[in-house]
Structure 1
Amino acid sequence: MTEVRVRAMTPPEFATWRRAVDESYALAQVEAGVWAADEAVELARTGNDALMPDGQDTDGMLFLTGTRPDGTPVGVAWLGLTHPRGAPGCAFLYDFEIFEAHRGVGYGRALLALAERTARDRGATGLELNVFGDNEPAIRLYETAGYTVVTQQMRKPLS
């Protein structure tokens, strides 16, 4: 397995990530047909503000950076130690990304394993996440890492 280490995001990393996560979540919601483009970034920002009212210092939220052994950042993970809908003992992976230049060589699998271990070390007995249906690489990663579908939302255009 590709070697990855995990550490807390630095404040500058958090600030950069926070802007990016709002924008990428907004774009994903627009592409999925859930939100209108003109309001998407504000909706994402408002939702994320509610989840992390104290920013990087929000209790129960971990903001992690995965690095190569030489310290080069390869990806990030946002881990909530309690489930947003109250599933007992289940942590929640809100955001997970391997930076584009580092994809396809095993960093995703390694960082995911570290996020799982971090949740388990803090008492979680399960880890849940959401993935958009068109994100085939992520779906394959999660399936091969042992994740199974627990809920599924479907849509049919009525034209």
Structure 2
Amino acid sequence: MTVEPDACAVAHGAADVGADEKTLVAVFASPVASYLLSYAADLGYHTVLYEPDAARATDVRTACDIRTTIPPLDHTADVVVTDHHRTELGPVLKDALTAGDARWVGVLGNPRHEGPHVSALTALGLPSNEIARVHRPVGLNIGSRRPAEIAIAVLAGLLADRNGKPGGFEFA
């Protein structure tokens, strides 16, 4: 049985909660990716920007590993596509789904419309069960409108998922 540290001791920095290995791969340089990578580093993630267009990678203003090809992904990796309008969406998502064993893959976008990733991945011949692994929408529904808020909502959703919690203000 694992003994959880006292919540007050954790909040005051007096208890060691241990380190768990986790990686965040933000796909495509964007304002959301900048905040996502910065905040994720503060949360203990190893941060990676996957930007196939090296010229765009300079748009991200945070220290992280920058890759023009998908890095190897293991069970510690969460992958978040931050721009669903890019023409490379299908190939990049296919790479993310087939480059190992990512824990979680998602695409930002409006939940009221079918994501463009569905037709892009279908056209690339991915089976429906692989396409269904792509989460959309991503993050907690907090009414985010600004890139920093979207990043917070995404990370809160990922943390809730990692911890087996639904997110929000219900505590069980």
Q: Which structure: greater strand fraction?
A: 1
Q: Please, what TM-score do these two structures have when normalized by structure 1? A: 0.36
Q: Please, what TM-score do these two structures have when normalized by structure 2? A: 0.34
Q: Which structure: greater helix fraction?
A: 1
